[in-house]
Structure 1
Amino acid sequence: MEAKSKIYIFMDEEVRPLAVVTAPIHIEIDTRKLVDGKHILKLVSKDPSGKEGIRTIPFEVRNGPAIAVEGIQEDAVVDGVVPIMINAYGKGDQTSFLISGSETPQTIPFWVWILLICFIAWSLYYLVRYMNLPVVDM
């Protein structure tokens, strides 16, 4: 019988492994049991000869409701009165999608206004030019 490598699975800074498995293995990590935020999955493997390998995989859990903020950004320098819009919405579960509250209303960006004004000006220019053309009788 062929000896196989053992894999020790650790989460964050835990000293006791979540599981000790024999390679290869398929596992599922239930992120609903983890708090939202940054985590590190640490895998330590030991082959039959006793050599060790380590791999760390940083990831971020975001199971809670999403929070959208408009009007201020991270590390912004502000003064005076700053209007802020805050929206929070959950994504439901894996089987259904919540449509209500899942979209954050946003202001129209300035470049959209500029494009709209340019389009209207262009349309008026050609409308005025078309109306001033002389009619040619044949």
Structure 2
Amino acid sequence: MTKDRSSVFLFIDDDAKPLAELKTPIVFDFDTSKLTDGDHVLKIVSKSPTGREGIRKINFTVKNGPSISVEGLNEDDVVDGILPLMINAYDKGNQKSFVIEGSETPQTIPVWMWIIMILIVGWGAYYLITYFSGLPY
């Protein structure tokens, strides 16, 4: 004796043709690499064995392309003159192996870090001078 199961139809954005028609319960590998980068909607339409329907919409953003990092210009900055920009674009590549080269964005050292390093070096120099100046020769 087989029991009737609900069916689900998966739609992307406003497509009239479903991405998949499946019987529940299911595990579905949703391949976003075939979608363009940007905002999308996954619409799931379910039909019960009695003929009733349910709909659920899930908004999501696809970002399969290379990540782009920009240093030197932020959103809504007011700028003037020449701007030195550092731009890097890197991809996830093969997700089965990790590649270090190009996967990290180099960044300049922030001013607060320089101040901390100068304070530490200054304190160390002061300590050494006061420690060794008190020793008899």
Q: Indicate the residue corresponding to 2:8 in structure 1.
A: 7
Q: Does the alignment pair 1:97 with 2:98?
A: yes
SS of corresponding position for 2:82: coil
User: In the alignment, is the contact (CA less than 8 A) between 1:6 and 1:20 conserved in 2?
Assistant: yes
Provide runs of 4+ in structure 1 moved above 4 Å.
Answer: none
Map residues 17-56 of structure 1 onto 2, 5 A cutoff: 17-56=18-57
**Residue 60 of structure 1: how far off its partner (Å):** 2.2
RMSD value over aligned CA atoms? 1.9
User: Which residue identity is paired with 1:91?
Assistant: K
Normalised by the size of structure 2, how large is the TM-score?
A: 0.84
How many pairs align?
Answer: 135
**Residue 2 of structure 1: how far off its partner (Å):** 2.2
Q: How far apart, in 1, do the equivalents of 2:66 and 2:79 lie?
A: 27
SS of corresponding position for 1:112: helix
**Residue 117 of structure 1: how far off its partner (Å):** 1.0
**Residue 90 of structure 1: how far off its partner (Å):** 2.4
User: Which residue identity is paired with 1:36?
Assistant: D
**Residue 134 of structure 1: how far off its partner (Å):** 5.5
User: Between the two proteins, what is the percent identity of the paired residues?
Assistant: 53
Note the alpha carbon deviations across 1:72-128, whole angstroms, 9 max, x for none: 112222222221111122222233333332222210111211110110121122122
User: Which residue identity is paired with 1:60?
Assistant: T
Q: Indicate the residue corresponding to 1:57 in structure 2.
A: 58
Q: Does the alignment pair 1:112 with 2:131?
A: no
Q: How far apart, in 1, do the equivalents of 2:78 and 2:46 lie?
A: 47
Q: How far apart, in 2, do the equivalents of 1:77 and 1:24 lie?
A: 53
User: In the alignment, is the contact (CA less than 8 A) between 1:90 and 1:98 conserved in 2?
Assistant: no
In structure 1, the gaps of 5 or more residues are none
Q: How far apart, in 1, do the equivalents of 2:129 and 2:95 lie?
A: 57
